[in-house]
Amino acid sequence: MLSRVAESVYWMSRQIERAENLARFLEVTLHLILDQPENLVDPWEPLVRVTGDEEWFTEKYGAPNQENVVNFLAFDEEYPNSMLTCLRAARENARGVREKLSSEAFEQINEFYLFVHEASRNESLDRTSKFFDEIRQQTLLWSGVLESTMAQDSAWHFANVGRMLERADKTSRILDVKYFNLLPSVEHVGTAIDDMQWSALLLAISGFEAYRRDYHEIDIPNVVGFFLFNRTFPRSVHRCVASAGWSLGEIDQASRNQSSSKSSEKVDALKHRLAHTQVEEVLAGGMHEFVDLLQRELNDIGNTLAEDYFQAPISA
């Protein structure tokens, strides 16, 4: 496989996953502002902070509020990580690898982009949680079409690596929203307000029902552990890293590599660290600090992946 094809399917998948997770961020925030008391911290500022692009946002929009944060994350054509920009880039990558995609898969990604593009032009559109739920449904449809029509060869595995690394990063960032979305005082920890916020985060990763099957009530260590270390839930960080590692192993085998790639070794090392870290260690050392380190490791894996696979031809 040409490195160009590998890179295109990797980024196509990663960009679609990024758009979906931005919709999840916005949907959960819209739910929070409906339910929480007015004296709590404005949830829109934390949403900007977890993107890591506060300076970019402030220069263009000033103070964060619902309207400008939604525009920034969903529709800003100048912001390289907005939903609209990600879907446009994903469509262009899909065009470059048409031979690897079914007609149904390409049509779905094209319709997905056009749906969001039209919404960006229609200011009268009701941009509530229902709209962002529709974005999630579009992504699920895309995933289903891809799984049903794409051969599970090296191209499929590169798409899976892109999706899983992006999902791991964004799951950790959703968890970080809680760190920045501070309660008025420590007296509110463990109250109904606190439980509501944790429940909203579980809903953001479609994990509320799965969590409640294992645990009967909201408990901070259990929720954090579910986000980071659950072995079976498809959006937990551990499960995403494990899935990316599996696909990299399949790619190396198909390429007839005698040894694992550097990126595969780094993914395996991260998987091992996650498997041997206790949630009590995370909370004692600081959840934000743990998530920050995790995001740096995921970024490093992405950079190493480009060096391993996207800068030279790939056999098989």
Domain extent listing, the chain = 3-309
Write out pLDDT tens, residues 111-155: 999 999 998 887 655 667 788 888 999 999 999 999 999 999 999
The answer to whether residue 73 scores a pLDDT higher than 50 is yes
pLDDT at position 315:
47
Residue 92: is its pLDDT beyond 90?
Answer: yes
What's the whole-number average pLDDT of the chain?
89
The pTM assigned to this predicted structure is 0.92
**pLDDT at res. 172:** 94
* Rounded CA separation 56/121 (Å): 22
Provide the pLDDT for residue 44: 87
d(C-alpha 221, C-alpha 289), whole Å: 16
Task: Say if residue 170's pLDDT is above 70.
Answer: yes
pLDDT value, residue 259: 67
pLDDT in tens, 191-250: 777 788 889 889 989 999 999 999 989 999 999 999 999 999 999 999 999 999 999 999
The maximal CA–CA distance of the chain, rounded, in angstroms, is 60
The 10s digit of each residue's pLDDT in 15-64 is 999 999 999 989 888 877 776 666 666 778 888 988 889 999 999 999 99
